[in-house]
Amino acid sequence: MEKETATRASRSNASILEQFRSLQDEKHYQELNWEGTFEDYLNIVKQNPKVTRTAFERIHDMILSHGTEEYQEFRETIIHYKFFDDPIDNGKDAIFGLDRQLMKIVNLFKSAAKKYGTEKRVFLLHGPVGSAKSTIVRLLKKGLEAYSKTPEGALYTYSWKIEDNGKTEWVPCPMHEEPLHLVPEEFRPQIEAFLNENSNSDYQVEITGELCPFCRQTFRELAKKYKGDWTRVVRDVKVHRLILSEKDRVGIGTFQPKDEKNQDSTELTGDINYRKIAIYGSDSDPRAFNFDGEFNIANRGLIEFIEVLKLDVAFLYDLLSASQEHKIKPKKFAQTDIDEVIIGHTNEPEYRKLQSNEFMEALRDRTVKIDIPYITRLRDEIRIYERDFNQRRIRGKHIAPHTIEMAAMWAILTRLEEPKKAQLTLLQKLKLYNGKTLPGFTEDNIKELMNEAEREGMDGISPRYIQDKISNALVSDDCVGCVNPFMVLRELEEGLKHHSLINNEEQRKRYRELLAVVKEEYEDIVKNEVQRAIAADEEALKRLCANYIDNVKAYTQKQKVKNPYTGADEEPDERLMRSIESKIDIPESRKDDFRREIMNYIGALALEGKTFDYRSNERLQKALELKLFEDQKDTIKLTTLIASVVDKETQEKIDVVKSRMIKYYGYCDICATDVLNYVASIFARGDAKEPN
C-alpha cells in the first residue's frame, strides 16, 4: 500500500514539473547564452553594427524602443516617452506628470549618444525629497537589464582561455569589455573599414578604448607565446552574450555614501587581492587585483550615485576623470578606459552647499543639472495614490469618492506659488493647471503663470507624506469599513505638528489654511453630487428639458406655445426659462445668445439625422439638474436626516437618493449615508449655496 502511494506521488510530482517545464523558452535561453569565436563576433558586427554602441547610445535607443506619443499643452508640443510608464513591470515605477523634465533627460542622452559633449558630464537629478529622482534612475537600470536581453539590445564581451599546470579554464574579462578592444591600435582603421563596408545601417563602427590591465597583460603574454600574431591570440578568446544585471553586478553599479570613517575610494575602482600576492609575487600584477569597484563593474552600462554630493572629496577626484576622460585610476595601475553613464541625484540643501563650495568648481563644471520638481497637476498626483490605494489592493475597505482627490489637491496647493494676478485664487490656479477653463484665461495666460513661478514644485508636501496619512486613516479605529475625505484630512492636519520638513510655524499655519480651502471645495463637490442625485429622475429631467426647449423654440422664432392642459396658445414662459438659465449664471443680457446657441445646436444635430439629448450639453444638463433639485428638495427634506425620527415616506425618498449615489457616483452604503448626513447638516445651518 505504501509503495503504491509513493508511486502515485512520484507521478504527480513528475507531471507538475512537466507543466512548469513547458513554461520555459529554451531557444531564448540559448540566445542569451550564445558563445562563439572572435571571428564569429566580427560577422555579427558586420551584420548588426549596433551591438558595438556606447552606453549612452544604448540607453537612448532603449528609451525610444518603447515608443512615444505627442500632445499639445499650453501651446507646446510635449513628447511622452512610454518607457517611463514602466511597461517592464506593469507600471510599478511609472512616472506621472513629469513629461517636460523627462524630455530634457532624453535630449541629454540623445546629445551624448551623438558625442556632442554631454557624454563627458555627470547627470545630476536635483529636486525635493520624494519627487521621483530615485525612481527615474531605477527605471533606467531596470530598462537596461531588460533591453540587454532583447535582440535589439544585444551586446557582447569575452573570456580568455587560460592554461595553468595542465588545466584549462575560461576567465572572463573583469570589466566585460567590448571584444573589438582586442584589435591592436595599428590594425583598427582596416578592421573598421571592413566592418563598415556596404553597411546599410546608419550606424558606423568606431573602435575606441583600450584593454583593462588584466586583459592587457594576458594579451601581451599570449602575443609573446604566438610570436606577435594577434590573429592567433584571439583564437584563445571566447566571445559571449552579455546580460546586464544589477544583482549580479554586471554593467550596472550603485554607490551610496557612508560615514567619513568608512568611506574608501577602492569601492569605486577596485582593490588588491592580498591572498593572490603570494601566488603572483607582486601587488602590481593585475591578476592579484580585484577589478570589482562600482566603476569597474558598471562598465558598458550605468552607475548610480545616491546622494552624490555627500561623497568625500577623494571620491570626487575619481568622478572628475570618469566623466570627462572616461577613465578611472585603479591603485597601482595606469588609467583604465570605461564606457558608462554616470547619473546621480541630490536634494536642494546639498546642492546649495555645492554651489557655495569654491573647491567644487571642477565638479560643477562637469555636471549637468536637471530639476525634478513635485507634480503640479492634480490629475497626475491622483494617479500616484490610485496606484497604491485602489479596491484591488485594499480588500475589505472602501475608499469614499474624492478621498484621494482631496488629499492630492492639498498636496498640490502646498507646492504652488501664490498667483500675482489679484483676481486669481490659488485653487483657481490649480484648476487651470489641471485643464479647467476659466473666463478671461487663455492658454497663453496659463503659460505665463507657469513662467513667472520659477520655483513652483520645488517646495511643498511630499507624496510620501500623503501616502503615509492615507495608510494611517485606513488602519485607524475610526475606519470601520470605509475611509472618507474627512478622516484623511484630519490625519494630514494632525501630522503637521510633527512634520520633520516644516521649518517654521508660519509655514505650518499656511498648510492648515490650505486644508480649510480643500474642505470648503469638498463641501461644494458633495453638495453638488447630492443635488444631482436628488434631481436624477430621468423622466422628470426629460419633461423639464422638453418644456424648456419648446419655450426657447417659440421665443427664438417669435411664436406662441400651446398649453398642454387648456390647448390655448400662450406667450413663451419667460419665468421658467430664466429660472433654468440663472442656475448656470446666464445673465439677462446673454439670454438671447444662449437660447440661439441651443437652437443652432439642435438644428445641426437634425441635419446629421441625430436627436437632441440634454446630456450632450453639459451646461444645460447642469442647469436642468439644479432647477429640478430646487423644485424637489422641499419634498425630500434632507434636514430631517439629522432629526431623531424620519417618517416612512421621506425615508423611502432618501433611500432612492442613496441608491443613486451608490450606483452613479461610486459610494458605498456607509459613505453615502455619511455624505447625506453631512449635506443635511449644511442645509440645517442654512448656509447651503449653489456650487460654482
- Mind listing the domains of the chain with CATH numbers? 35-373 (3.40.50.300), 378-523 (no CATH)
Q: In this structure, how many other beta carbons lie within 10 angstroms of the beta carbon of residue 560?
A: 12
3-state secondary structure of 252: strand
Longest dimension (CA), the chain: 118
**What per-residue confidence (pLDDT) applies to 49?**
93
Q: Which three cell numbers stand for residue 175?
A: 570589466
**Between the CA of residue 108 and those of 148, 252, 295, 341, 357, what are the distances in Å?**
21, 19, 21, 11, 26
**What per-residue confidence (pLDDT) applies to 81?**
97
Q: Which residues in the chain come in under a pLDDT of 50? A: 642, 688-692
3-state secondary structure of 346: strand
Indicate the Cα dihedral angle 439, 442, 445, 446, nearest 10°: 90
Contact present, 503 and 634 (Cβ < 8 Å): no
> Which stretches within 98-238 are classed as H helix?
99-113, 133-147, 188-196, 213-225, 230-233
**What per-residue confidence (pLDDT) applies to 208?**
92
**Between the CA of residue 495 and those of 127, 457, 511, 512, what are the distances in Å?**
23, 21, 11, 11
What pTM was computed for the model? 0.84
Contact present, 86 and 92 (Cβ < 8 Å): yes
Among the listed residues 96, 679, 94, the one whose alpha carbon sits nearest the alpha carbon of residue 411: 96
Contact present, 492 and 466 (Cβ < 8 Å): yes
